[in-house]
Amino acid sequence: METIAELIRRHARPGRVQWIGLRPARREEVLSVEEAVVDDAGLVGDRGGQGPRAVTLIQWEHLAVVGALLDAPPTDPALLRRNIAVSGINLLGLKGRTVRVGEALLRVTGPCAPCSRMEEVLGEGGYAAVRGHGGVTAEVVTGGRFRLGDAVTPAEDASVR
């Protein structure tokens, strides 16, 4: 019989980068890009910084959930101001683990709670709709380039491209 630890470490397939966003400054429009570079300070061109919140990721599938909770179409990831939208792998299930995103290695540090600005951006109920669906934060282990469509895999499974 498998242990819980073994089950937690298993994922059905790698994730994929579906969207990349750079936040050049506070309250400025998020720029959607096809590729980005991660260095010790986070994404080059993003206002993020070093440490456990250097990069933010959101579950692509949760954009439809947030939209549904607002009785709207799937939410544009730029409105949620995260850096990377990933499909196909449970980001919350990667907490505490190192993941490969393109050439970069990121360590998932924890959940990324919504800010009060969600009411302003998404309308009444926006904050509540994003709770539990705001994605995760990550720190940079090793910098590198990544692109739309790149695999997102736990580092020990990094041979999957």
- Per the prediction, the chain carries an average pLDDT of 92
The pLDDT of residue 64 is 98
Range in 7-11, 30-34, 138-142 with the lowest mean pLDDT:
7-11
- Domain range for 38 is 4-155
pLDDT bin (cut points 50, 70, 90) of residue 157 is: low
pLDDT greater than 60 at residue 6: yes
pTM to 2 decimal places: 0.91
Residue 74 placed within a domain:
yes
Residue 161 placed within a domain:
no
Find the CATH number of the domain harbouring 46: 2.40.33.20
- C-alpha angle 80/122/82, rounded to 5°? 0
pLDDT greater than 60 at residue 161: no
Position of tokens 């890009």?
Answer: 33
Number of domains making up the chain: 1
**Percentage with pLDDT > 70 across the chain:** 97
Distance of CA 121 to the CA centre of its chain: 19
Residue 141 placed within a domain:
yes
Residue 160 placed within a domain:
no
Mean pLDDT over residues 57-85, rounded? 97
